[in-house]
Amino acid sequence: MKLVAIYNTWSDCLDLLEKSVENILPVVDGVIIVYSNFSNYGEGKQFIFNNTDPKISLHLMEPTQKINPHANETNKRNYGLKLAKEKGYDYFLMVDSDEFYFQQDIINCKDYLQNNPEVNGLVANINVLFKSPTLWVPDHTLVPFIHKLQQNTQLGNFKHYPFTYDYKGDCHIDPTRRVNYHNGIEMCDVIMWHASWYRKDYHIKVNNSAARANILKSSIFKDLENADVGVYNEFYRNTLKECDNFFNI
């Protein structure tokens, strides 16, 4: 197995990106970072990345301002896949700059996939780090984890991708991250730790999110103000819990 982690990012949280790459680097064969200096809404900030490990390659792709944010995100992710195919990787893991995995989970799943070649990919659950690296709440969404990389592999709004919808028809997987596979996809017991609401400037995140209209109407800022162990989080409809600072962020 030759596994690559493909990052899709812009310059809003470079400190988290460096920590995420530092964490994943020992358990993958390479890291591809597709970055931009501008957000999907045109906000600009210079991308500066300090890790010069030879396993890391940086690739600039600025968004097209006249198309919707989901289209830009999908294009960046597929550009990362194109680069990975050209570099000869046969498995990939799509990551954003604020996402973290336990190294042992990646090691275990690499072994599982090598021993079960009929499996095309794995799907993981998500816990959200909320305001602090030691406060978390479970998310209802899921994330595609390690997948086979083939010449026809693409990412996008593939509604047939397994586990995208539950029995009620509610969607649980980002439309920019679904793989064009119909079968051979399994749930695994891995957790992706998403530092979605742990950053220096929450307004930059909200103002440049593809879902900003819904977020601005939500309880998120009240939840951030009230965040503490045992407090009910209206945005995620669950109670905040305490954990260690697993990733030293």
Average pLDDT over residues 190-215: 87
The whole-number pLDDT of residue 185 equals 98
Identify the CATH assignment for 3-129+138-195 out of 3.40.50.300, 3.40.640.10, 3.40.630.30, 3.90.550.10: 3.90.550.10
* Nearest to 13, CA basis, from 109, 97, 130, 136: 97
Percent of the chain having pLDDT more than 90? 86
The whole-number pLDDT of residue 13 equals 86
> pLDDT of 178-192, one tens digit each?
999 999 999 999 999
- Our CA dihedral for 239, 243, 33, 176, rounded to 10 degrees, sits at -20
Distance (Å) of CA 226 to CA 10, 103, 218, 220: 29, 32, 14, 10
- Which pLDDT band, with edges at 50, 70 and 90, does 111 fall under? very high
Q: Do the Cβ atoms of 165 and 187 come closer than 8 Å? A: no
- Which pLDDT band, with edges at 50, 70 and 90, does 243 fall under? very high
Q: Where are the domains of the chain?
A: 3-129+138-195
> pLDDT of 158-177, one tens digit each?
999 999 999 999 999 999 99
Q: Do the Cβ atoms of 153 and 91 come closer than 8 Å? A: no
The whole-number pLDDT of residue 42 equals 87
Average pLDDT over residues 64-93: 95
User: Environment class of residue 244 by beta-carbon count within 10 Å: exposed (0-12), middle (13-18) or buried (19+)?
Assistant: exposed
- Which pLDDT band, with edges at 50, 70 and 90, does 248 fall under? very high
- Which pLDDT band, with edges at 50, 70 and 90, does 85 fall under? very high
> pLDDT of 16-73, one tens digit each?
999 999 999 999 999 999 999 999 888 888 999 999 999 999 999 999 988 889 999 9
The span from the CA of 30 to the CA of 210, in Å, is: 28
Which pair of structure tokens corresponds to residue 24? 């994943």
Which pair of structure tokens corresponds to residue 168? 């009620």
pTM tops 0.85: yes
